[in-house]
A and B are shown apart, each in its own frame.
Chain A
Amino acid sequence: MSTSWDQLEQRMHAVDRFVQGEMSVAEAEAFEQQMSADASLAADVAAQRELAASLATAFSPSPPPNIADLPKPGAGSGPGTGPVLPGMPWLWGGGAALIGVAAAITWFATGSGTGAGSPPADLATAYQHAVAPDEPFVPRTTDETEFAICSKIGHSVLFESDEGATFGRPGGGIGDSTPMAISVPMHLGADRMLLVFDLAHKDEPAERVTTTRISDTLFKHVVVRHGLRVTELSPREKPAMLSRIRVGS
Chain B
Amino acid sequence: MRTFLLHILKRFGQFVLVVFIGINLTFLIIHISPIDPVEASVSAMTAFSSSQPEAVELMRKSLKELYGLQGTPFDQYIVFWKRILVADFGPSLSAFPTPVSTLIGRALPWTVGLLLVAIVLSWVLGNVIGGLAGYYRNNRLLKLVGVIFMALNPVPYYIVAFILLIVFGYLWPILPLTGAYRMNMQPGYRLDFILSVVLHSLLPILSLVLVGIGGWFLGMRALVSNIVTEDYVVYAELGGVSRTRILGSYVMRNALMPQVTGLAIVLGSIFNGAIITEVVFGYPGLGRLLVSGVETGDYSLVLGVTTVSIVTVSTAVFLIDLLYPLLDPRIQAG
A is bound by B: no
